[in-house]
Amino acid sequence: EISLDGFKPDQRFLRGLYSGGTLAYEALLILDHYLPAVYSNVPINKDLKLENSLVSQEHSIVDLGEDEFTVGRLHPMMDNELRINRLVLEAKDPEVALILLDVVLGHGSHPDPAVELGPAIKAAKETAGKAKRRLDVIVTLSGTDLDPQGMANQQKVLEKAGAQVFLSSDRAVRYAARLVSQLNESSDPQPATSFKPVDLASFKGEFAAINVGLESFTESLKFQEASVIQVDWKPAAGGNADLAALLEKMKG
């Protein structure tokens, strides 16, 4: 069993702040086996959609890479401001026991995410500590030793800040799920929802891609000798939602 020393009785909930949909969705799939309900802005079960993506409720997984967060600003893989602000908010919630984060390395990501997220993680844990609460921060670190950010150094900085770093999303989320299940006095897995498994054979064919927007992704694929087409695209009106709405009316 995982030690629960330091948690207060009211601390029962998990919050996940993800920079993109892939790992957020994987977390939802795994947590579906352990927890009765996990709310999200990208839920598996539409009945569990967050009423307001800016406000978590009970167990919540938030994909901060969704369009609702990225209009007119950089994607959270490149800009940590959204997650840092949300991390501060979640750390103040007396019912939160654990926060899940993902850090994705590689071309097109922030050049040094740990240098920004590290101090934010440390501050979040200190906020909880001042209220005599334990707050665990679990990080899934995705990358390789060849990534420009340097995976080993990223892990070192994040761990120094107080995060528990996993190099596997599956292991990170299952650890978090077991901890929260113990806090809720229910370590029995929930009945699994039936999902069609991905056919891994589909990944063995020749790879080709069409990249829309950020050109560094195209350059990375070219470096790996993949077939790729770059589409030079920018959001309408530079991402300004009000101006885009006016332009849409003019079309009509």
pTM of the entire predicted model:
0.78
**Residue 38 CB partners (closer than 8 Å, separation 6+):** 14, 28, 31, 32, 48, 59, 60, 61
Query: Is 3 within the bounds of a domain?
Result: no
Instruction: Give yes or no: residues 48 and 167 share one domain.
Output: yes
Is the Cβ–Cβ distance between 43 and 126 less than 8 Å? Answer: no
- For residue 86, what is the enclosing H or E element? helix 81-91
Domain range for 107: 13-183
Residue ending a domain, choose from 124, 156, 183: 183
pLDDT tens, residue by residue, 221-246: 787 778 888 887 776 666 666 777 77
pLDDT number for residue 186? 43
What CATH number corresponds to the domain at position 126? 3.40.50.261
Residue ending a domain, choose from 124, 150, 183: 183
Instruction: Give yes or no: residues 128 and 231 share one domain.
Output: no
Query: Is 191 within the bounds of a domain?
Result: no
User: In this predicted structure, which of 34-48, 130-144, 210-224 has the lowest mean pLDDT?
Assistant: 210-224
pLDDT number for residue 197? 62
Q: What single-letter DSSP state applies at residue 49?
A: B
Instruction: Give yes or no: residues 235 and 170 share one domain.
Output: no
Is the Cβ–Cβ distance between 44 and 193 less than 8 Å? Answer: yes
Q: How far apart are CA 231 and CA 51, in angstroms?
A: 35
Residue 188 has pLDDT above 50, yes or no: no
pLDDT tens, residue by residue, 68-98: 888 778 888 888 898 999 999 999 999 999 9
pLDDT confidence bin for 128, thresholds 50/70/90: very high
What b/e string do you get for 77-98 counting C-beta neighbours within 10 Å, with b at 16 or more? bebbebbbebbebbbebeebbb
Instruction: Give yes or no: residues 167 and 209 share one domain.
Output: no
Query: Is 190 within the bounds of a domain?
Result: no
Q: What percent of the chain has pLDDT over 90?
A: 57
Q: Which residue has the higher pLDDT, 38 or 3?
A: 38
Q: How far apart are CA 135 and CA 176, in angstroms?
A: 12
pLDDT number for residue 70? 82
pLDDT number for residue 171? 95
Instruction: Give yes or no: residues 179 and 210 share one domain.
Output: no
Query: Is 208 within the bounds of a domain?
Result: yes
